[in-house]
Structure 1
Amino acid sequence: MSPSWVEHAIWWHVYPLGFAGAPVRDWDGTSLAEEHKLLKIVEWLDYALELGASGIALGPIFASEGHGYETVDYLHIDSRLGTDEDFDTLVEAAHSRGLKIMLDGVFNHVGQRFPRFQQELRDGEGSWFHIDRSGDRPSHRNFEGHDELVTLNHGNPEVQDFIAQVMNHWLDRGADAWRLDAAYAVPPAFWNTVVPRVREKHPDAYFLGEVIHGDYAQIVSRSSLDSVTQYELWKATWSGISELNFFELSHALGRHNDWLDTFVPATFVGNHDVNRIASTVEDSRHLAHALVVLFTTGGTPMIYYGDEQGFRGVKEERVGGDDDVRPEFPMTKDQLDPSGWPTYHLHQELIGLRRRHSWLHTARTETAELTNTAMLYRAHDGSHELHVALNLGDEAVDYRMSGDILAGHASVRSGWVTVPAHGWVVTG
């Protein structure tokens, strides 16, 4: 059972190294702590609050070698971002506004300069890692072919103790939640050993696992995590809209209902690892439809920084191929492109709808009418309901829908609602 505050959680997800303009490649390791780049996030907390967010989900902020996922010191802030005291300032500023803080726990692997790894290579002793010494030179198990990412031995009790210590350290320091990176690559038994121990000290903490595919409900049950990332619905949302195939989305929403029987998934239309939704949904008229799905279905929504401004960006398979989706944010709001503010205001409208109907956190969806380009579904929890109509086509569609128009635009006549071409509406 997740902490009660998660029912109202909406996360603004920030990749700090990119957001703050810290060097990711070609960094010589020189400390930039005196620049206090982490504090740039403090300057945008009111912006996130006005958006409607209730928490800031941070990407990796611990000392690392490059993009943040090659950790070398879990107990100190990356010197490219600032100091441990800067973290304290961020937490205090966030909490004073009622915002929670989620940290990114990269506990599947470490960087090659992680001291314990270097010690085991040097001394030939220890079992924190999977090191093969049968060849001319030692080799180690890595993460998905990336040799710079050294996989931990999750069956070692010392590793379990260490990760529990790290989690408690930052929760003690004011963090409220953990996103567990590459949780799908870690044995569920590891999480089921570590997370309950951390909960004993921090019963109100939230634990979200990054899981791309598989049996989400089984993974949650076996790992004792609160939730996992809902990549199935993410994929069906953007491809169902961009490929004019609402049958795919309807099918995914049916599976989403099944997950909700066990846990509440973390839902999103963008993050630091995928193409921007504004680039994926090529017809700009249909960006709104993706956001409507995000905010009217069950789940804990996450908004990737810049998506609320319609940022564009596409990942590429090359060195630096993530840069386009992890950009530096401007220093002030007046430096944002004016064309992005309508998307920001649409987020506000839909988040406002979500806030007024908090039961949507666990809502099930039921498809009422369906074609490739038009869809009507009912979101309900047994006591409340909303109707959502989406139209990707060039012609208006008519649906018999009850209630008042709560968001979107449509014509109402004698119990019939006419949704314009490329339009959408929510009634209830």
Structure 2
Amino acid sequence: MINNKSNVALSRYKRSIIGLLCATALMSCSQPSEQSVSNTETDISTTGVKISKPVVYQVFTRLFGNKETANVPWGTLEQNGVGKFADFTPKALQEIKALGTTHIWYTGVLHHALVTEYSKFGIASDDPDVVKGRAGSPYAVKDYYNVNPDLAVDPSQRLAEFDALIARTHQAGMKVVIDIVPNHVARNYQSSSAPDGVVDFGAHDDTTKAYARDNNFYYVVGEDFQVPQSDDYQPLGGQAHPQSDGQFAESPAKWTGNGSRAAQPDINDWYETVKVNYGVKPDGSYDFPRLPVGFDKKSIAEHYAFWQQHDLPDSWYKFRDITHYWLNRGVDGFRYDMAEMVPVEFWSFLNSSIKMQNPDAFLLAEVYNPTLYRDYIHKGKMDYLYDKVGFYDSLKALMQQTGSAKDVLEQQYKVQDIAKHMLHFLENHDEQRIASDEFAGDAQMGKPAMVVSHLISKSPSMLYFGQTVGEDGSEDAGFGKPSRTSIFDYIGVPAHQAWMNNGKFDGGKLSEQQRGLRAYYVKLMSLSTLPAVVAGDLHSVEVDAQNTIAQQRVMAFARAFSNQKLVVVSNFDAKESHTITLHLPTEWQNTRYLAKDMLEHHASVRVKDNQIKITLAPRASAVYLLED
């Protein structure tokens, strides 16, 4: 999640978060054996069964179907347009499915704070002083029991329109994932559509206390909230608005979402949100039971049974009820924002309750502290975590010609015991676009990187909308700054719009290069069905090169399952071709294989002396299937 004014480098946030977590000692670390993931792995021993591994297509829902191209900085919905649930037509979904997609993560679905006026639909207005951008951050949820009115053709029927999208997605053969933001809610949270008996966050809080176990929020007792001040930032870019007056009524002030305890947060704090209390006292101690020793090896059912014996903080039950509400509407899974800021015991409680209702639910968490990975998987019962800090960061450096292939492989081996739980990506809403000047400056650099990212392990792969056609994120949207596609503003996404072609979803306005890039992704992602990709072990391949640069820029590895063997090699050099010799795993040397490239049509070669010699052009890859 990125919520600051100018899209400051994400690493700055993650360092501060890790420091905060260490300071409050939310959990300890362990190295237990790997748990199974029931929802993604088909029994590959059964002959004739089609197999694959998860492919997540993340789409920023508000932007996907938008056809307007004005792109006025800080533009209104009327000026810059907005996409709708209805824009995900059967044809659009078919084209998303063509990328091998198994799950669509519809980002920004839940009703979050935004500046556009919907009072005639019974929706309370939001104050621009505590909204980031005009369209608002999707991570400042205002009503957990409804969806963003921007996304509906008829806002009064917005839930029904989302239900219809869920049904269309299922009919297209894919599952639906939405965000749950457990650490914080919008400062102006107020559900207008909660089911009978549901009490709003904070409605029963004792605001005379900074902390109470069953308070939903933390309070700065005796002080009123003050809007952050900045010399170089004004809400809505300084445009006039009747509520943009530097004031927001909140008494007493609540702690801010990133943990700030000041009545007046800093402008770079997550000031549009307030932190949720899970029973962690201000001194970092706990007001709930800890998981007993050995529970990292216990089953979902055992975790669920453990929590039924205890009375727990009110916020735990509120989020359990929220997730079950969406499961009952047909949602198939959740992506958890900033999960490491919430105690691991809560995740054991929540995820075991979800899996008891839907064993195949897809549970993905945003976690950036590698020392916490295994606890979140084994104790917290997460299916998948972001592999950002190790794998993505090292791969990005290699794409930028500053890292090395060795660094990427080292990061992969660090998580080999949990590899199938570590989701791989090259782009998402927090990260810079590959084609942006600030990243690689060339969408073609995503080709070798996606080959490596997708094929190196059993882990799920994720694609971000626009990635496959070279979107560069260069628009000056307002609050969001260039290099990332803005999640705060109403904006058109040009390369994606060329593929969308006014709702035809046929790529009719793409350039020849863009069409070629998408075709490459489609072919690469189809390799998800190979047994060696979905279930194969990782084997080392030695690269013998003519020079040091080639050693740094060329990456190779092998995957094998049963009798199927793959050798993958990618040249990350943006300018130079390299001729290399691949020394295959020693245990393969007794057979004379024919190596057939399944990706870029390199000529088939006969393996000799357990070696393959190949010349790779800049940014080229080969995926060799070895046959006796």
Question: Are the aligned partners of 2:430 and 2:484 in contact in 1 as well (CA < 8 Å)?
Answer: no
Residue matched to 2:254: 140
- Structure 1 range deviating more: 135-144 or 237-246: 135-144
Distance 2:37 2:254 in 1: 36
Asked if 2 retains the 8 angstrom alpha-carbon contact of 1:410 and 1:417, the reply is: no
Task: Supply the distance in 1 between the matched residues of 2:169 and 2:477 (Cα, whole angstroms).
Answer: 35
Match of 2:580 in 1: 398
Once the two structures are superposed, the pairs formed by residues 96-135 of structure 1 within 5 Å of their partners are 96-115=171-190, 116=200, 119=203, 124=208, 127-135=215-223
Say yes or no: does 1:179 pair with 2:344: no
SS, match of residue 441 in structure 2:
coil
Give, in angstroms, the shift of residue 101 of structure 1.
0.6
Within the alignment, does 1:8 sit opposite 2:56 as a pair? no
Identity of aligned residues (%): 19
Task: Give distance in 2, aligned partners of 1:322 and 1:146.
Answer: 20
Aligned-pair Cα RMSD in Å: 3.1
1:361 and 1:302 map into 2 onto residues whose CA distance is: 15
2:489 alignment counterpart: none
For residue 102 of structure 1, report the CA deviation from its aligned partner.
Answer: 0.6
Shift of 1:278: 2.7
Structure 1 residue 285: deviation in Å?
A: 4.7
CA distance in 2, matches of 1:290, 1:375: 10
With the length of structure 2 as denominator, give the TM-score of the two structures.
0.62
Determine which structure has the larger strand proportion and give its number.
Answer: 1
Closer, same or farther: CA 358–168 of 1 in aligned 2, 3 Å: farther
Distance between the aligned counterparts of 1:36 and 1:414, measured in 2? Answer: 52
Q: Does the Cα contact within 8 Å between 2:74 and 2:477 map onto a contact in 1?
A: no
The offset of 1:56, in angstroms, is 0.9
User: 2:169 and 2:98 mapped to 1: Cα distance?
Assistant: 13
Structure 1 residue 169, shift from structure 2 partner: 0.9
After superposition, residues 206-285 of structure 1 pair within 5 angstroms as: 206-215=362-371, 216-231=373-388, 232-243=390-401, 245-260=404-419, 263-279=420-436, 280-282=439-441, 285=444
Q: Residue type of the partner of 1:286? A: M
* Structure-1 separation of matches of 2:142 and 2:72: 15
Q: Which residue of 2 aligns with 1:419?
A: 615
The one of 533, 541, 554 equivalent to 1:360 is 533
Cα 1:250–1:85 shift into 2, 3 Å: same
Return the letter of the residue paired with 1:2: V
Give the letter aligned to residue 345 of structure 2. Answer: A
CA positional deviation for 1:119: 4.2
Change (3 A) 1:40 1:122: farther
Q: Which SS does the other structure have where 2:378 is aligned? A: helix
Distance 1:210 1:38 in 2: 25
Say whether 1:77 aligns with 2:147: yes
Q: Secondary structure at the match of 1:302?
A: strand
Spell out the pairing of 1:34-45 with structure 2 (5 A cutoff): 37-42=84-89, 44-45=92-93
Contact 2:72 2:477 in 1 (8 A): no
What secondary structure does 1:103 align onto?
A: strand
Q: CA deviation at 1:366?
A: 3.2
Q: Aligned residue for 1:377?
A: 557
The equivalent residue for 2:469 is 309
Q: What amino acid is aligned across from residue 337 of structure 1 in structure 2?
A: L
Q: Distance in 1 between matches of 2:465 and 2:539?
A: 30
Greater relative CO, 1 or 2 (CA 8 Å, sep 6+): 2
Who is 2:277 aligned against?
153
Bigger drift between 377-386 and 143-152 goes to 377-386
Equivalent of residue 296 in structure 1, options 417, 440, 455: 455
> Which deviations, in whole Å up to 9, do the C-alpha atoms of 1:58-117 show, x marking residues without a partner?
112111112211111111111111200111111111111111111111121100111345
Does the 8 Å CA contact 1:183/1:209 hold for their aligned counterparts?
Answer: yes
Which residue identity is paired with 2:408? L
Structure 1 range deviating more: 79-88 or 393-402 = 393-402
- The reply on whether 1:189 has 2:345 as its aligned counterpart is yes
Q: Which range moves more in the overlay, 167-176 or 323-332? A: 323-332
Task: Indicate conservation of the 8 Å contact 2:434/2:440, yes or no.
Answer: yes
- Tell me the alpha carbon deviations over residues 163-186 of structure 1, each in whole angstroms, 9 at most, x when there is no partner: 111111111111111111111211
Whole-angstrom distance in 2 between the partners of 1:36 and 1:388: 39
Closer, same or farther in 2 for the Cα pair 1:36/1:314, shift >3 Å?
closer
- How far residue 157 of structure 1 moved from its aligned partner, in angstroms, is 2.3
Report the equivalent of 1:56: 104
Query: SS at the partner of 2:435?
Result: helix
Q: 1:53 & 1:250 partners in 2: Cα distance?
A: 26
Helix, strand or coil: the match of 2:149? coil
Q: In terms of mean alpha carbon deviation, does 405-414 or 226-235 score higher?
A: 405-414
Deviation (angstroms), 1:296: 0.8
Provide TM-score, normalisation by structure 1: 0.88
SS of the aligned residue for 2:370 comes to: coil
Any conservation in 2 of the 1:229–1:266 contact (CA below 8 Å)? Answer: yes
User: Which amino acid in the other structure matches residue 345 of structure 1?
Assistant: A
Q: Secondary structure at the match of 1:404?
A: strand
Corresponding letter in the other structure for 1:106: V
Question: What is the CA distance between 1:27 and its match in structure 2?
Answer: 9.4
Structure 1 residues 24, 421: closer, same or farther in 2, change over 3 A?
closer
What's the secondary structure of 1:276's corresponding residue?
A: coil
The answer to whether the aligner puts 1:320 opposite 2:367 as a matched pair is: no
| 8 Å contact kept, 1:378–1:388 | yes
Which of the residues 337, 341, 351 maps onto 2:510?
337
Q: CA deviation at 1:127?
A: 0.7
In structure 1, the residue corresponding to 2:137 is in which secondary structure?
coil
Q: Give the greater-gyration-radius structure (CA).
A: 2
Shift of 1:381: 4.3
> Shift in Å at residue 417 of structure 1?
3.2
Does the 8 Å CA contact 2:531/2:561 hold for their aligned counterparts?
A: no
Question: What is the aligned partner in structure 2 of residue 19 from structure 1?
Answer: 64
Aligned residue for 1:223, secondary structure, equals coil
* Larger displacement relative to structure 2 (19-28 or 194-203): 19-28
* Residue of structure 1 in register with 2:354 after alignment: 198
